[in-house]
């Protein structure tokens, strides 16, 4: 297994990064719907109370106010849980942010089934599909807290709508001391190989790396791509993987419909159909449990990814 030195929740990147960027002179404001403690936005509020606007438990209002602030030149960061924003405020995101392309950055924590004990209502597994359905949103799902911090900075420094998904539990950090720089539209190649490609996002990037280790033990050379930038995607990396490895497995803590799997399938169906398999949530909602139990329960594991890789490889020759 790929060892990592530490674990950290990606949601902890938001507040401290915004504090740093605001100190560097970016005109950042933060709009909050009573989850600032959980999303770490409150850290920004402590430093810059005059730039921190709580609106109460009112996500639709949060997006509307953010859009208004953005229309006046502010870089408007708002945050909630991914089930509530976009869940509660999709039309506001579409009308006040997506269509006019206001400079609003929604950073939603508690994505995925790994939200855990809170159960189905709290586990966002359709948020990426919702946000990818608005064409003007850049959509990012960082693999770890290091990438999360970099992606927040990119969002702050890049004009226009952004959606970023972060996670509740402390997940393994893979980019410590790596010199890695997040770039929009670039999928980091974490491991190279020519037999099969694993494309993952979020916490399943680590699972994909572990799957590649399992496969290496069987003599299978596996490429692993971190698809943190879901819009724009890295077409070059994706088409290269299809061309050079001829078989692809995607892995995401989200419904396979409308998220990473959908993006990969749509692109390859038009350009270069190769055998595909999707690891993700299908046809049912989450449930209560610890986050690690739930990854096992729903088959979002290195073993399942490795098994899917053997499957797509066996279909290559046909």
Ligand X SMILES: Cc1ncc(C[n+]2csc(CCOP(=O)(O)OP(=O)(O)O)c2C)c(N)n1
Cα–Cα dist 262/216, whole Å: 27
Active-site annotation holder among 8, 59, 149, 153: 59
Residue choice 119, 160, 258, 311 for contact with another protein (CB under 8 A): 119
Of 105, 102, 123, 131, residue with least CA distance to 263: 131
Name the minimum Å distance from CB 160 to another protein: 25
Name the minimum Å distance from CB 121 to ligand X: 8
Name the minimum Å distance from CB 38 to ligand X: 8
Question: Strand locations in 45-175, DSSP E?
Answer: 52-54, 75-81, 104-109, 138-140, 162-165, 171-172
Cα–Cα dist 66/80, whole Å: 13
Residue choice 27, 34, 213, 293 for contact with ligand X (CB under 6 A): 34
Name the minimum Å distance from CB 282 to ligand X: 26
Is 88 near ligand X (CB under 6 A)? yes
Residue choice 52, 77, 84, 298 for contact with ligand X (CB under 6 A): 84
Q: Which does 288 bind (CB under 5 to 8 A by kind): another protein, ligand X, none?
A: another protein
CB neighbours of 307 closer than 8 A, spacing ≥ 6? none
Is 35 near ligand X (CB under 6 A)? yes
- 147 catalytic per annotation: no
Q: Which does 287 bind (CB under 5 to 8 A by kind): another protein, ligand X, none?
A: another protein
Q: Which does 224 bind (CB under 5 to 8 A by kind): ligand X, another protein, none?
A: none
Is 297 near another protein (CB under 8 A)? yes
Question: Strand locations in 20-110, DSSP E?
Answer: 28-32, 52-54, 75-81, 104-109
CB neighbours of 302 closer than 8 A, spacing ≥ 6? 1, 207, 208, 210, 211, 213, 214
Does residue 232 have a cis peptide bond before it, meaning omega lies within 30 degrees of 0? yes
Residue choice 9, 14, 55, 167 for contact with another protein (CB under 8 A): 55
Residue choice 16, 20, 38, 184 for contact with another protein (CB under 8 A): 38
Token pair belonging to 305: 């990814």
Residues of the shown chain interacting with ligand X in the complex, contacts defined by CB under 6 A? 34-35, 57, 59, 84, 88
Q: Which residues are known catalytic residues?
A: 59
């Amino acid at each position: 297994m790929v060892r990592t030195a530490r674990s950290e929740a990606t949601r902890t990147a938001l507040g401290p990064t915004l504090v740093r960027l605001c100190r560097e002179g970016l005109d950042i404001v933060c709009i909050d719907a009573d989850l600032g403690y959980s999303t770490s936005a409150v850290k920004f509020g402590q430093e810059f109370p005059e730039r921190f606007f709580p609106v109460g438990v009112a996500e639709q209002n949060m997006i509307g106010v953010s859009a208004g602030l953005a229309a006046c030149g502010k870089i408007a960061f708002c945050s909630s849980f991914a089930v509530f924003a976009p869940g509660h405020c999709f039309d506001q995101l579409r009308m006040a942010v997506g269509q006019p392309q206001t400079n609003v950055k929604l950073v939603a924590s508690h994505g995925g089934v790994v939200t855990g004990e809170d159960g189905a209502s709290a586990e966002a597994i359709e948020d990426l599909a919702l946000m990818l359905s608005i064409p003007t949103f850049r959509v990012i799902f960082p693999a770890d807290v290091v990438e999360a911090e970099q992606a927040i900075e990119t969002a702050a420094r890049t004009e226009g709508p952004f959606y970023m998904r972060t996670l509740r539990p402390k997940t393994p950090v893979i980019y410590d001391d790596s010199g890695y720089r997040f770039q929009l539209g670039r999928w980091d190649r974490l491991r190279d190989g020519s037999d099969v490609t694993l494309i993952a996002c979020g916490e399943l990037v680590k699972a994909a790396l572990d799957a590649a280790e399992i496969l290496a033990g069987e003599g299978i050379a596996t490429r692993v791509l971190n698809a943190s930038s879901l819009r724009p995607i890295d077409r070059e990396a994706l088409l290269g993987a299809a061309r050079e490895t001829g078989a692809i497995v995607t892995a995401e803590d989200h419904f396979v419909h409308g998220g990473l799997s959908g993006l990969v399938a749509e692109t390859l169906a038009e350009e270069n159909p190769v055998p595909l398999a999707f690891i993700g949530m299908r046809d049912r909602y989450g449930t209560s449990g610890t986050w690690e139990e739930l990854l096992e329960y729903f088959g979002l594991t290195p073993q399942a990814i490795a098994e899917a890789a053997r499957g797509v490889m066996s279909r290559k020759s046909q």
